[in-house]
Amino acid sequence: MRCFVLVLLIAATFASQCPKPPSDAEAKQQQIFQIVEYINKAQTPEPVVEGVEEKELKYLGHLPKNEIFSLFDERNWPEAKAAVKYLLEPKTFDDFIKAAKILITRINDEIFLYALSVAILHRPDTRGVQIPRIQDVFPDKFIPNFLLQQIREEAIRGDQNPIVNLNISSNYLNVENSLNYFTNDLGMNSHHYHYHVVHPATGVPIQTVTRDRHGSRFAHMHSQLVRRYESERLSSGLPLTESFVNWDEPIQTGFSSHLTIFKKSYYYNFRPEGITLSDLPELTKNKMLLWKHRILLGIHSQFLISANNKNVSLEREDGEDLLGNAVESSLLSINRQFYGNLHNYAHVIAGRASDPDGRYGAHNGVMHDVATSARDPLFYRWHKFIESLFQQLREHLKPYSHYELTYPAVVVEKVEVVPDKHPETVNKVRTGYTTNKLKLNPGFDFTRQSTATVNVQHLDHEPFHYKFRIYNNAQQVQNAAVRIFLAPKYDEQGHRLKVNDQRQLMIELDKFVVHLQPGVNQFLRSSSESSVTMPTKYFFGDVQDIARNHSCNCGWPEYLLLPRGSYEGLDFQLFVAVTNWDEDKVKDKVEPECQCSESLSYCGTISGKYPDRRPFGYPFERPIVESNWEDFVTQNIHISDVNIRFVGNVEEEKQIEKHH
């Protein structure tokens, strides 16, 4: 019990390092809310005309207001950058608000939302102010059009608070639909959007780009998205997804999102089965293949060519970071002219697959929009290819030796996964579908003067905790980092996965620091404390209440921490590595930045250095030479078998339990 208290004290100590929000943060938050209320709404504010310097606005207003703003589309970047710059320049908060009121009536509202969010994150006078939640401002990017139409019709009939149900459904004609509970999930898609707002790669002034490990964080977060998707495929009995490599082959999987931005009358285009990607007027596939081959050549020759024509080695500590910046094509790219815009423009080409040259005047598909792209199965095929680039880079790294992996002072004797309400079922966890309410404000084209409630069904898991027994054989306290991962044990046909195949499917569940006293240490860690996730209330709760927590809205949904599993129970393995935190931690002179502290593992910090010097995914990010885990593990690494069973609708399951 004593050690359990120590773990909580450490967490409390980290929280106490966060600078307290200024006393006027809540008042500032209300002013931001008042401005945001006009975005994507039928009513627009009165244009500000006094004190406007038109020359400062000459680069703004180019993207039509009825278009979607895409962070992937390079043609949108100059205006987005100008908008962010315009909101960063005011010297005082009052002048910032005035600038926002000037801008909101003059530019595309999606660019405005992006610029406002980036400015809030980087202005010193907005510390403690929460950026707007994308699902509150653009619920039509998350809720299918037929439900919004239902709300609209009920509002017209006089219902002051229409209530609709967004249930998980699938179509047996398309096996990919069995994964709708994951790909269409509101929280997952919200996280993906906010990640790119918190860590913008392009469309911003250079000073707003997170420099520390930007490229490697991009690689890690997106690889985790793919790996989680893979676990969901195995949960549905489907094979692992295929990497999207050949751009001249037909894409066999079609996709339709059924999303419409009502105010813009913008219908996200569908992609028929068997379509082949085509050249765009401004970009050919051959150009992208050239970028791809240059990146692959750099990986296998182990150096990239800088803008001043110097060979920069990838055989260095930040090699993956250099590659990530070049692949994502961030402003930090070592040579954007040479390595191009591979990651982003693949999204653009895929988003315009059904009407590449615009001859039919069709709108773009979901792959074109950061907020919607992860709904499309093609997203995961493309990002599996992106991850393969980093895996090829890691193939050049020397595998860790037992000496490098061993923490001599620590022995992990036992780790168990224990459901909070069913402690007798050790290492067996249940998942199921539950429901949360998303409130829609008045003023949208579909709500009119009414509010509305959407009952959103989503996957969830029963609360659980990890139970640790760790021995410290040293004479003094050890500051240890506990790193927890989960990976499927078998493929879709029931064959045991090979060590390196399993390694490349590992998803991060948690990472935390604990003080280990000499001797035996027994302590607990709740699943709700995960360094990967953001609490469920941050996705569905009242935005006024959430704002007081000063979140940056970036973080994996707490309710999606675990894969779904199967009705019969799907076998996974839990990997726990305990390392020396005194050796791992990064000392940073910058004041601690805590706006993304809810999901430090995925979202990192906005300013300063990431606190862990180890590579993302350590110690499982490098190839393993051993053919079985028994030969790989050291005394400070522990593996447990865990079974995840899906029980269907949680409410129905509760009724069954009552009868028993």
What would the 3-class secondary structure string for 112-175 be?
Answer: HHHHHHHHHHHCHHHCCCCCCCHHHHCHHHCCCHHHHHHHHHHHHCCCCCCEEEECCCCCCCCH
Which whole-number Å values give the CA distances from 380 to 69, 291, 491, 532, in the listed order? 22, 20, 18, 20
CA 467 to chain centre: 28
The C-alpha atoms of residue 420 and residue 252 are separated, in whole angstroms, by: 43
- Nearest one of 577, 575, 541 to 559, comparing CA atoms: 541
Sign of the torsion angle spanned by Cα atoms 415, 642, 650, 547? positive
CA 480 to chain centre: 27
Residue 331 near residue 208, CB atoms below 8 Å: no
- Looking at 154, 230, 232, 328, which residue is catalytic? 328
Q: How many CA atoms lie within 13 A of 486 on its CB side?
A: 24
- 395 token code pair: 């193939």
Which whole-number Å values give the CA distances from 101 to 96, 98, 240, in the listed order? 9, 5, 48
The C-alpha atoms of residue 4 and residue 523 are separated, in whole angstroms, by: 4
- Nearest one of 628, 539, 498, 601 to 223, comparing CA atoms: 601
Residue 514 near residue 6, CB atoms below 8 Å: yes
Query: Catalytic: 328?
Result: yes
Q: Collect all residues with Cβ–Cβ distance below 8 Å to 418 and sequence separation of at least 6.
A: 426, 464, 465, 466, 467
Residue 653: helix, strand or coil by DSSP?
Answer: helix
The C-alpha atoms of residue 465 and residue 506 are separated, in whole angstroms, by: 19
The C-alpha atoms of residue 432 and residue 396 are separated, in whole angstroms, by: 41
- Nearest one of 132, 29, 140 to 553, comparing CA atoms: 132
53: number of Cβ within 10 Å: 8
Residue listed under structure tokens 């509150």:
136
Q: For the CA atoms of the chain, what is the radius of gyration?
A: 25
The C-alpha atoms of residue 368 and residue 110 are separated, in whole angstroms, by: 13
Residue 287 near residue 348, CB atoms below 8 Å: no
281: number of Cβ within 10 Å: 9
Phi–psi pair at 230, nearest 5 degrees: -60, -40
Which whole-number Å values give the CA distances from 183 to 374, 468, 601, 649, in the listed order? 6, 33, 21, 18
Residue listed under structure tokens 């791809």:
292
Residue 254 near residue 272, CB atoms below 8 Å: yes
- Nearest one of 180, 175, 352, 368 to 275, comparing CA atoms: 352
Residue type, 656: I
Catalytic residue ranges: 328
